[in-house]
Homo-oligomer: A and B are copies of this chain.
Amino acid sequence: MRGVCLLAHDAPTDPDFALDDLPGTGRLDLVCRAITASLLLSHDIREDATVWVSLADDLCLTVDGSAVRNLRPDERSTAALIRTALAERDQLIGQRPVEPAPGLTLERGGRATALDHARAAGTLLVCHESGDPIVDVEWPADPVIVCSDHRSFTEADLDAIGDAPRVSVGPRALHADQAITIAHNYGDTEGYERY
């Protein structure tokens, strides 16, 4: 499998937002692009991939590529899916998750919950500008790429991530969706060997 774990520090946690201003909604545009970069190919979906998004360290949204429906490449429709999920937040009781739509799961607990799911599913690789070149890191069987949003990882993020290997995907600071695209490509090509 492949996984992506996105720590979206400013993302909304309630559905009371307009689809017309995603950048002003805690950079939801970035979250949407990260989700689609994680799961979508041209006219296809990565059924072996799952994304866990920590929303403002309050909620965890899971998008399962094998089950999600109506995930389209554009930001607005992806934001609408997220809004649909957040509309169910009042149904959250204790730690029990809700499934607002096929392939979407919402639950309490932000960063810790997202990272717990990620660790249970695979081996963390943390996208970090000071990490080792991706070409020098042993690629695990079940990689989970951990990314931050437009902010750097906080100290608390890094504490929660622990000693997972840090990898750099290149010499320039990229957006989360760009880093995810490059990591997927590294996996797809089996280390830039298979085209």
Q: Is the CB of B195 within 8 A of A172?
A: no
In the complex, the count of this chain's copies comes to: 2
Q: Which B residues touch A43, using CB under 8 A?
A: 150, 173
A binding-site residues for B, Cβ under 8 Å: 19-20, 22-23, 29-30, 33, 37, 40-44, 72-77, 132-135, 150, 168-175, 178, 181-182, 185, 188-189, 192, 194-195
Known A170-B185, A182-B185; contact A175-B73, beta-carbon cutoff 8 A: yes
Q: How far is the CB of A22 from chain B (nearest CB, A)?
A: 6
Q: From A75, which residue of chain B is reached at the shortest CB distance?
A: B75
Q: Is the CB of A173 within 8 A of B44?
A: yes
Q: From A36, which residue of chain B is reached at the shortest CB distance?
A: B175
Q: Is the CB of B150 within 8 A of A170?
A: no
Q: How far is the CB of A111 from chain B (nearest CB, A)?
A: 20
Residue among A23, A29, A37, A170 having the largest count of chain B Cβ atoms under 10 Å: A170
